[in-house]
């Protein structure tokens, strides 16, 4: 990674400290003028300075105004925040903040949603702006269980679901909040939750977010569930929620979602053990006009039952790499490409 402009970097840190009351006012004024001058001259803002990126320094001081300024001048939001001597796994600035204004800034400028802490995910995706639902505790046992769709798609406006989407509560916490019933009285099936692993979040050109499936809890938990749903958030409190017949949209987690012109291609899945097919790669098509999900038949040399991978649209092909393949949770070290026009795979390496 490059090194930030040293004059800009030192002045910015002085300014951050001064704005927080830890530097003399005169020195702060000089630093403010220096920062403005260096930014206007196109100074480099990326790279590590005193062990961290400038963006990370601004986030650490909880200064949304400086965060926004750095982003406007080209700060890379998904770079590792610490230098090569970091002792732990590198993280990005999205993992370093719980300040709502900064969280929203980072999300709006392209932070990876998977990097945000679950405690701020509702802020990052804007579900916190959904109006709070009034739920009668007597209705909770009827409203709370996970329901699979009977149509493709099946639209739901279940108030318990909407409240769980708003709050990001775990299934257990949601039931305790909205009902005094014991777990034994809730029935054998899992309780709905929007607190997920292995879910994708895709931003559409109009700003809406499309959240696809994922799983809740571990396999031994009574509320473990791999979902087959789609949630569309407009960031202003509007929400559409759909679920599907499992024949059209199998329970899907640890997949990727690649935005095409009028649809999203959902590639890969871990799924329940009975779903997994050696030598097969699950591909689904989500129509962005109708929200219908359709299984896609592909040909060619596919990567197999892949999950936890990366997918990137490069030169009209979706390039898939990394992750794991089943059976055996094996590390996938190949690279495959899917031609979305012909739905044909080819092996690159």
- Taking only the tens place, the pLDDT of each residue in 294-323 is 999 999 999 999 999 999 999 999 999 999
User: Would you say how long the chain is, in residues?
Assistant: 349
In a domain, 237, yes or no: yes
Domain stop point among 225, 246, 267? 246
Confirm whether 1 is domain-assigned. Answer: no
Which two structure tokens, joined as six digits, stand for 287? 């129509």
List, in order, residues 6 or more apart from 88 with CB less than 8 Å away: none
Pair (21, 118) in one structural domain: yes
Q: Residue 300: give the domain boundaries.
A: 254-349
Indicate the pairing of strand 299-300 with strand 239-243.
unpaired
Per-residue pLDDT band at 328 (split at 50, 70, 90)? very high
Q: For position 180, what pLDDT does the model report?
A: 79
- Percent above pLDDT 90 for the chain: 86
User: Mean pLDDT, to the nearest integer, of 153-179?
Assistant: 94
Long-range contacts of 63-67 (CB under 8 A, 24+ apart): 63/16, 63/19, 64/99, 64/101, 64/102, 64/105, 66/12, 66/15, 66/16, 67/102, 67/105, 67/106
The CATH number assigned to the domain holding 17 equals: 1.25.40.20
pLDDT digits (tens, 9 = 90+) for 9-59: 999 999 998 876 666 777 888 999 999 999 999 999 999 999 899 999 999
pLDDT band at 189 (very low <50, low <70, confident <90, very high): confident
Q: How many domains does the chain have?
A: 3
Tell me what the pLDDT averaged over the chain comes to.
Answer: 93
Q: What is the DSSP letter of 133?
A: P
Q: Would you state the pLDDT for residue 2? A: 76
Predicted pLDDT of residue 51: 87
3-state secondary structure of 239: strand
Tell me, yes or no, whether 290 and 306 share the same domain. yes
Where do we find the tokens 């001597």? 85
pTM as predicted: 0.92
Measure the CA angle with vertex 64, ends 63 and 67; round to 5°: 90
pLDDT in tens, 79-127: 998 866 655 557 899 999 999 999 999 999 999 999 999 999 999 999 9
Say yes or no: 12 and 121 in one domain.
yes
**Among 246, 262, 285, where does a domain finish?**
246
Angle (CA) 108-198-255 rounded to 5° is 95
Q: Which two tokens stand for residue 278?
A: 């050696």
Question: Are residues 261 and 210 located together in one domain of the fold?
Answer: no
Average pLDDT on 132-145 reads: 92
Which of 102, 125, 148 is at the close of a domain?
A: 125
């Amino acid at each position: 990674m490059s090194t930030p402009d040293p004059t800009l970097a030192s002045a910015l840190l002085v300014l951050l400290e001064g704005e927080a009351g830890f530097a003399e006012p005169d020195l702060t004024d000089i630093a403010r003028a220096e920062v403005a001058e260096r930014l206007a001259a196109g100074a480099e803002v990326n790279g590590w300075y005193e062990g961290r990126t400038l963006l990370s320094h601004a986030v650490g001081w909880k200064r949304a105004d400086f965060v926004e300024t750095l982003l406007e001048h080209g700060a890379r939001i998904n770079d590792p925040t610490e230098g090569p001597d970091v002792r732990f796994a590198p993280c990005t600035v999205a993992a370093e903040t719980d300040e709502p204004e900064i969280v929203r800034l980072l999300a709006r400028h392209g932070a990876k949603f998977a990097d945000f802490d679950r405690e701020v995910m509702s802020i990052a995706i804007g579900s916190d702006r959904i109006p709070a639902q009034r739920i009668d505790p007597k209705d909770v046992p009827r409203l709370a269980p996970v329901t699979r769709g009977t149509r493709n798609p099946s639209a739901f406006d279940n108030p318990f679901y909407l409240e769980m989407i708003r709050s990001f509560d775990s299934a257990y916490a949601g039931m305790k909040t909205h009902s005094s019933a014991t777990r034994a009285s809730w029935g054998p099936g899992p309780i709905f939750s929007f607190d997920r692993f292995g879910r994708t979040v895709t931003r559409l050109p109009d700003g809406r977010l499309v959240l696809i499936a994922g799983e809740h809890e571990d396999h031994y938990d009574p509320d473990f569930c791999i979902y087959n749903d789609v949630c569309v958030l407009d960031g202003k409190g509007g929400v559409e929620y759909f679920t599907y017949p499992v024949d059209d949209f199998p329970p899907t987690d640890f997949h990727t979602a690649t935005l095409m012109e009028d649809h999203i291609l959902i590639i890969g899945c871990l799924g329940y053990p009975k779903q997994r097919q050696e030598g097969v790669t699950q591909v689904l098509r989500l129509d962005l006009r109708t929200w219908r999900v359709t299984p896609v038949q592909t040909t060619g040399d596919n990567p197999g039952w892949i999950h936890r991978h990366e997918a990137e649209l490069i030169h009209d092909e979706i390039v898939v790499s990394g992750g794991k393949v089943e059976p055996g949770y094996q590390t996938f070290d190949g690279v495959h490409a899917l031609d979305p026009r012909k739905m044909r795979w080819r092996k690159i390496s």
